[in-house]
Structure 1
């Protein structure tokens, strides 16, 4: 059984990300060079040429995208780039997303250099090649019909220096650190720039989430090459995996977070549970256990999407008496579901329509059923029976609230 959703692109940044690596990956995955040149021509910006060169790295065929320009690293203000985009003939969605990337860049540079976005003097990222990289990436994704981007955690160097218009800056570049606030990163024992400001801004702005490869039916893959030679000899490539997302019935990787509590006031559990769910927990439970020395205690366990796991771990430590946590990743499968409404003689009941290999199952929302039962002073089972009659497929096993452990 297959449930195909939107067209998604996964950025596998095992060697980092830059603007030209993204362009090269899109071209290697099937984006036509002439179509991209035509789209970029709508900028009405002269003095550049985009080339696509096949290269080999570690036996892998990749594409090196390069922008040749006639200008000598022109410095543009944020307002100049905004005017350039707004006056272009590009699709409005491309204009809006490109402007959002440059806005993010301007805000990061302003924070690092202690000024305001409008006063920011774009140096490297204001040059023609950087403009083509950013607008080209956004336009290329639009041409390929990509509806969502998911990005892997990003590698960061553990030392080294970057020489730019401001002088020598430590790696990772300060602007990159600012751009990647809230983004999962990991250290690499290299003293080379792996994530450029342009690449960081594109990944941070365009990606809906960061984490592992999502469930998808893989359709295309592409490798974009960087110009740098890695010190460790590994390929300096960005991999794009493009396909149709799966809404259900597919394996998903989630993180299990748990801890034992024996010196904690359980009266605060409803507050903690509600907060964890608001912050993205997929499921939570509190189980009574017998601990060492005969103490009664609790096992607190929650499921989390990898993208939300770090924040949820901090919340557990802040909201309980736990001084340590255990966590590991597991695989799970879920079924597709949609929210529907059913009209009973006493009012409307929200329900979930769940698709299984054996057919469709309708499960009413417990809270709505109890609300109607109390309002009309009728047995709760009578509400469930009415919903079952309406749907013909409702299965009611108890008066307990149905589980809601399927992700949004």
Structure 2
């Protein structure tokens, strides 16, 4: 299982995050190729190596001729949705912007869709957020963990005037997220950086146990005398998979749907199983306003998660999917043949600790024997189970 760890002793911003992943090894040409799917005339990107306290890192800066700097969240969603980006990248990008919109809306007392993005709404920040979604999607990691976030101190000049650091939006976004003390008189964590880490990270704390495969450094704009202004991204594999013998670490994808036709619902399950889902099923649920709906649940290993997400977003009407890891405990299985009064029947044996705990006769064998001998099916099944009891 791949894990990405974000070490944020000097905070996080959109350009530092993207630069760190490029320094980690994500192909910048691939990012630019995907970014060209956005409705932008020209994207001029400067990516270069810099030094911060003798540590080499990468900077990412976007320069473009774009004059429309004021957009609402509704405008930005339209830009992303009408692009040719993948469903996963669209979902991540919109989710990050939604976090910012909801926090700004709460601060200014307006609806999220009505929030006007000034600095964030400028196209360079749209590039930062969409580029971040493209880059992290390309890594195909199962989990993202972040350190406590340093915020900075002081004052910042904005279109609304001078405001304290951390910015109100940053504080609102990072509710529930552990932060680290910092005396740097600068905005270390921006609303964009806060939204990225809040959306992507599943937990916060020290670096988890893993076999390290690579590290990248994203450099901030300022070069402080006291500390190296760097965001560090570390990728690695879980040691031993983190599970005991007979236990598989899998991922559950689930979403509630109340506006999809039954024909599409059946087709969706078929497509998910064709794509490699270990299991896929619906559970009846009651949704908002008393509407009947279904809970779609999909069980998969981490390698197939992104492909299955693509199927869900392409084939269903949902706009959001929850994902979480589970442990599946599996019994050891063996096959055997038993002799019954109605013929030879194959049985499946399930063992725990070397002891048979479950016996299941093969249905097709039992059905064929029942039809051939002219006896009830359940009589053949009972006979096969009785014969298999000798194998316990």
Q: Same fold (TM over 0.5)?
A: yes
Matched residue of 1:241: which SS?
Answer: strand
In 1, the alpha carbon distance for the partners of 2:137 and 2:80 equals: 16
In 1, the alpha carbon distance for the partners of 2:151 and 2:117 equals: 23
- Partner residue of 1:36? 31
- Report the Cα offset of residue 118 of structure 1: 1.3
Q: What are the Cα deviations for residues 329-359 of structure 1, in whole angstroms up to 9, with x where unaligned?
A: xxxxxxx97423699xxxxxxx998xxxxxx
Residue of structure 2 aligned with 1:185, choices 179, 189, 197: 179
How do residues 225-240 of structure 1 correspond to structure 2 at under 5 angstroms? 225-230=219-224, 232-240=225-233
How do residues 5-16 of structure 1 correspond to structure 2 at under 5 angstroms? 6-16=1-11
- Report the Cα offset of residue 220 of structure 1: 1.2
How do residues 210-289 of structure 1 correspond to structure 2 at under 5 angstroms? 210-230=204-224, 232-246=225-239, 247-248=241-242
- Number of equivalent positions: 263
- Report the Cα offset of residue 167 of structure 1: 0.7
Gaps of 5+ in 2: 245-325, 334-349, 358-390
How do residues 389-408 of structure 1 correspond to structure 2 at under 5 angstroms? none
Q: How high is the TM-score relative to the length of structure 1? A: 0.60
Residue of structure 2 aligned with 1:209, choices 203, 210, 235: 203
Gaps of 5+ in 1: 1-5, 251-335, 344-350, 354-359, 365-388, 391-408
- Answer yes or no: is the 8 Å Cα contact 2:49–2:59 preserved in 1: yes
- Partner residue of 2:378? none
1:57 counterpart = 2:47: no
- Partner residue of 2:169? 175
- Report the Cα offset of residue 249 of structure 1: 7.6
1:198 counterpart = 2:192: yes
Residue of structure 2 aligned with 1:101, choices 80, 96, 118: 96
- Report the Cα offset of residue 85 of structure 1: 0.8
- Report the Cα offset of residue 361 of structure 1: 8.8
Deviates more, 1:144-153 or 1:128-137: 144-153
- Runs of 4+ with >6 A deviation: none
1:340 counterpart = 2:330: yes
Q: How high is the TM-score relative to the length of structure 2? A: 0.62
- Partner residue of 1:48? 43
1:112 counterpart = 2:107: yes
- Partner residue of 2:18? 23
How do residues 323-338 of structure 1 correspond to structure 2 at under 5 angstroms? 338=328
In 1, the alpha carbon distance for the partners of 2:26 and 2:327 equals: 34
Deviates more, 1:48-57 or 1:98-107: 48-57
